[in-house]
Structure 1
Amino acid sequence: MPEFKPITRKPGEIIRSEDWNKIQEDIRADLVRVEKSIVDLRGQLESMVESVTLVNIDSPVGRSYPLNEIVPGETIGYGTKVMGLISRQWLCDPQGSTVEICRYGVTDFIDVFAFWAGAEKGNAKLVDINLEYVDGSTATIPALFIHDCTKLAPKGKDNPYVEYLLSPNERAWYKYEVRNPNPDKEVRHISFIKTKPDSSPRIGNVLNAKSRIKPLPR
């Protein structure tokens, strides 16, 4: 609350210039404090982040496999049904004609999103990410480096993972964070595209999206 303390006078009494000046200075000091509080509060609001984690995500393209199932063309699975929040892995449909691994529906504003991935014959730039926005426009995040999933790979400097999970037989999942190039546009779909034919990248059925909390328009 403001610390202003009024100086009162009876009707007809003359106020001294010293008292009048003190009243003005107290009011000014209170206004400065209020303005600073508003600036601080606005800064706190603008730095607040909303985080949403989507699990068991379905996709209209690609093919999903349980973690403990051996993917066609590979010789070993993960040896467990669940790793963290990941319960299934999405890969390109071997009978399909598309190189789209999976497409996740989001319909939200996103500043940064995180996904889990890995690849047999990995440690290379294997995946593009296509973002489709509600307004019909698109954006591409090209040539993402995906680490090898058959064993834990060094983080490196090219698209370093922020976290990893190891299965009982030491196969790996890696968590990557990607920044949306158009955070002011509402995202409708996030698509993962395989770019190297002889690789086998897979995407976990979990997605984390972070966005700054935006004030409502006046």
Structure 2
Amino acid sequence: MPKFKPITKKPGELIKAEDWNRIQEDILKDLEEIEKSVVELRKYVESLTESSTILNPASPVGTSYELNVPVPGETASYMATVVGPITRQWAMEKGKVGEVCRFGLAAYLEVLEYWAGAEDGDKKALDIVFEYLDGTSSVLSGLYVNECSRLRPKNPENPYLEYLLSPNERVWYRYRLNNPHPEKEVFNISFRKSEPNCILKIGNVIHYRSKMTPL
């Protein structure tokens, strides 16, 4: 609430200098408080984000498999048709490198979260490419992916946020990645296998956070 309290005078009455000075000081303090509140409110609004989840996004490239079907060359499946929100897996077998899958977004985003794992993993096996609507792109290469046949400790280079276990205790790991250019609209997210000596798998769920735009 404003601290300023008006001093009322009758018509023709003079105001003392000290009263006038105090009024000006009170008004100045109130204006400073208002300015401070506006700055804090602006910071709060700018920090607001909204989270989105895309289930089973389509990909024009790559091959997807059911979770209870082993990927070619894999020693076992997840022995379940659903693990958490994941219902299918995009995968590339051992001996190959290239694009595993590509998901369309058409969104501004600050942070991307994805599910991944690799048999013969615990390697820097993944590159992620942000393709922007303006035709440019950013590549984050050499991302570490944990072994999926058993739960592994977090690696400091790309620590997972959480994990999911299937009935036979095979693992999906949830990773987080910052968009290098959040001011640009993302058109596609491409997941690329860069390490031939593993079976890389990407879950069919992605999450992202974006700043809320004030009306």
> TM bucket by the smaller chain?
over 0.9
**What is the correspondence of 1:20-169 to structure 2 with a 5 Å cutoff?**
20-92=20-92, 99-169=98-168
Is the partner of 1:22 in helix, strand or coil? Answer: helix
> Aligned equivalents of 1:93 and 1:118: distance in 2?
12
2:129 and 2:190 in contact (8 A); partners too = yes
Which aligned runs of 4 or more in structure 1 are off by greater than 6 angstroms? none
Q: Give me the whole-angstrom Cα distance separating, in 1, the residues matched to 2:32 and 2:156.
A: 47
1:66-102 deviations in whole A, cap 9, x for unaligned? 11122222232101111111111011389xx982100
Give the unaligned 5+ runs of structure 2.
Answer: none
> Number of aligned pairs?
214
What is the CA distance between 1:149 and its match in structure 2? 0.7
Contact 1:92/1:98 (<8 A) preserved: yes
Contact 1:122 1:147 in 2 (8 A): yes
Q: Deviations along 1:4-57, whole A, 9 cap, x unmatched?
A: 221122221111212211211111111111111111111211222221111111
Q: What does residue range 186-201 of structure 1 map to in structure 2 within 5 Å?
A: 186-201=185-200
Paired with 1:70 and 1:8, the residues of 2 have a C-alpha distance of: 85
Q: Which residue in the other structure is 1:209 paired with?
A: 208
Could you say which residue in structure 2 is the equivalent of 1:19? 19
Length-normalised TM-score, structure 1: 0.91
- CA drift of 1:139 comes to 0.8
Q: Once structures 1 and 2 are overlaid, which stretch shifts more, 1-10 or 103-112?
A: 1-10
Q: 1:200, 1:186 → 2: CA distance? A: 31
SS of corresponding position for 1:53:
strand
Amino acid corresponding to residue 57 of structure 1 in structure 2: P
Matching residue's letter, 1:201: L
Conservation of the 8 A alpha-carbon contact between 2:97 and 2:193: no
Share of identical aligned residues, percent? 52
Structure 1 gap ranges (5+): none
The answer to whether the Cα contact below 8 Å between 2:133 and 2:184 also exists between their aligned partners in 1 is: yes
